[in-house]
Amino acid sequence: MRQLTGHDASFLYSDTLHANSNVTFIQIYDQSTAPGGKVRFKSILAHIESRLHRSPIFRSKLLRVPLELDYPYWIEDEHFDLEYHVRHIALPEPGDWRQFCIQASRIHARALDLNRPLWEIYVIEGLDSIVDLPPGSFALLTKIHHAAVDVEGQNEIIDVLHDTARRPAKPAPPEPWFPERAPHSISLMGRGALHAMWSPWKLLGPLARFAPAAAAFARDVLRPEHPTVTRFNSVVSSHRVFDTRRFMQDEFESIRRLVAGATLDDAAVAVCAGGLRRYLDAQGELPEVDLTALATATKDRPEVSWRRVQLGTALADPVERLALIHRQTSSAQIPARARAGAALELNTCTITRVPGPSVPLYLGGARMTYFSAILPIADGMGLAFAVTQYDARIVVSPTSCRELMPDPQAFTQCVRDSFQEYLALARPTPAAGVAAKGIRSARRRASASGTRSPKVRTVRTGATAPRAAKAGRRRSTAPRR
């Protein structure tokens, strides 16, 4: 029996009816590499069953302390049923990438059963209409509660289920499993009282759970005219939208070299910021004041987990935007989680680097060809970017709700346009170089003269729907390689 940390428990306490803390990893496989060129559902089920003993996540469910006197515990589920957690579906018509994103978003939005282990795996077939995927490809959607997984760290459940060899060694027989007996409620209350005695500050835990609501009240009532509010700083609905864009890693390497010392993470944040700027500008909602995001720190600074980063959305020049981001991430800035009053600081989105496999992975011999993630969103921060890296590609995947982002394909096209703008500056052709230089000069003149002055929008309420995207901006969202 293991007790949740305060950080992990906070994800449970933040769950609401319309916004839960689910994280969904999406993997797509080419089954032509598997023995016989086919991976059957029963083989996947048997494969997962053979790996259950490798991680306590699979069979552990929550055990709450009466009266919430202490953080919950992980206890083995004596009624564990593998076939409840692993499900088999096919993509409905038309079976294209847009339909896949809709299906994945619906699965992600549904809350997990808190009386069972907090994970589900969906095996999805019927992907043959998706452009650029090998025939017969299938997907795995691994949905797990944020309280059970460290999204910014090592994805244990991904590592356990996969092999680094196409034909791995025959696994040993699974170890016999006997579930542990759950302690009595009186025993749990006694433990909670003892922990409170040794750590009196824990008694403030229940009050701390109201902090997000208090912060939202302070923003919406006490400071209703905050100048950096966008449509994403609003109440989210229970409906999720997700889309993705794939880029080559070597192209991002070229982009980061536009600014000396910049990292791949800096380049990814800059591309996301440029996409957000383009999207809001297309809606006539781009504030003059710079927007900010909570972003994971670069991997070479493990002591800092999150940073509040100024995105440079008020800058027309993309290189200046990248330089601004790099200056912040390379400084000894206080982590956002530890900074006093951070809850009251208004951020437009989160940008999370989700570590992907560093080598090609296989599931039953089928090679993984795609890896991305759908992240949780919450009231006041209805936009989250997942940035994954696998197989020499970087994937940028925004998550929002359909009321705040009714056109996710238009949003991801803005992200791609932002990437292409950077790439044109990083790898200019003779003609493109002259054009890019002219565009940058024109933007500097416009910025200096103040010709663009979009009006700053105030806080949206749940009754104020954001405007839909302008006609003609919707494009295909099939993954481009």
Q: What distance, in Å, lies between the first and last C-alpha atoms of the chain? A: 45
Q: How far is residue 348's CA from residue 177's CA, in Å, rounded to a whole number?
A: 46
SS3 of 292, please?
strand
Q: How far is residue 447's CA from residue 170's CA, in Å, rounded to a whole number?
A: 64
pLDDT in tens, the chain (481 residues): 788 888 888 898 889 999 999 999 999 999 999 999 999 999 999 999 999 998 999 999 998 887 777 888 899 999 999 999 999 999 988 889 999 999 999 999 999 999 999 999 999 999 999 988 999 999 999 999 999 988 766 578 888 999 999 887 776 677 777 677 766 666 665 665 555 555 555 545 544 544 554 555 455 545 544 445 899 999 999 999 999 999 999 999 999 999 999 999 999 999 999 999 999 999 999 999 999 999 986 554 444 478 899 999 999 999 999 999 999 988 755 454 433 344 446 899 999 998 888 899 999 999 999 999 999 999 999 999 999 999 999 999 999 999 999 999 999 999 999 999 999 999 886 544 544 555 555 455 544 444 443 333 333 333 333 343 343 333 434 444 4
Q: What is the pLDDT, as a whole number, of residue 176?
A: 75
Q: Is the bond preceding residue 94 a cis peptide, omega within 30 degrees?
A: yes
Closest CA to 34 of 25, 47, 50, 24: 47
454 within domain boundaries: no
Q: What is the pLDDT, as a whole number, of residue 74?
A: 92
Q: Structurally, how many domains does the chain consist of? A: 1
Q: How far is residue 457's CA from residue 223's CA, in Å, rounded to a whole number?
A: 13
Q: Rounded to a whole number, what is the largest CA-CA distance in the chain? A: 76
333 within domain boundaries: yes
Which tokens sit at 448?
A: 């200096």
Q: Is 439 exposed, middle or buried (0-12, 13-18, 19+ CB in 10 A)?
A: middle
Contact partners, residue 409, CB within 8 Å, separation at least 6:
98, 243, 474, 475, 476, 477
Q: How far is residue 383's CA from residue 380's CA, in Å, rounded to a whole number?
A: 9
Q: Are 344 and 219 in contact (CB under 8 A)?
A: yes
124 within domain boundaries: no
61 within domain boundaries: no
Structural element, H or E, at residue 120: strand 119-125
Q: Are 279 and 385 in contact (CB under 8 A)?
A: no
pTM for this one?
Answer: 0.81
263 within domain boundaries: yes
Number of alpha carbons in the 13 Å side-chain half-sphere of residue 76: 11
Q: How far is residue 329's CA from residue 69's CA, in Å, rounded to a whole number?
A: 39
Domain that holds residue 440: 228-356+379-449
31 within domain boundaries: no
Q: Are 387 and 352 in contact (CB under 8 A)?
A: yes
Conformation bin of residue 37: beta by default, left when phi > 0, alpha when psi is -120 to 50: left
130 within domain boundaries: no
Q: What is the pLDDT, as a whole number, of residue 34?
A: 94
CB atoms under 10 Å from CB of 85, counted, come to: 20
Q: What is the pLDDT, as a whole number, of residue 69?
A: 75
Q: Are 183 and 189 in contact (CB under 8 A)?
A: no
CB atoms under 10 Å from CB of 458, counted, come to: 12
Q: Dihedrals φ, ψ of 147, to 5°?
A: -65, -20
CATH number of the domain where residue 262 is located: 3.30.559.30
306 within domain boundaries: yes
Q: How far is residue 295's CA from residue 308's CA, in Å, rounded to a whole number?
A: 6
Q: Is 191 exposed, middle or buried (0-12, 13-18, 19+ CB in 10 A)?
A: middle
Q: What is the pLDDT, as a whole number, of residue 346?
A: 80
Closest CA to 122 of 100, 143, 96, 144: 143
Q: Describe the chain by its helix, strand, coil percentages, rounded to 5.
A: 35, 20, 45
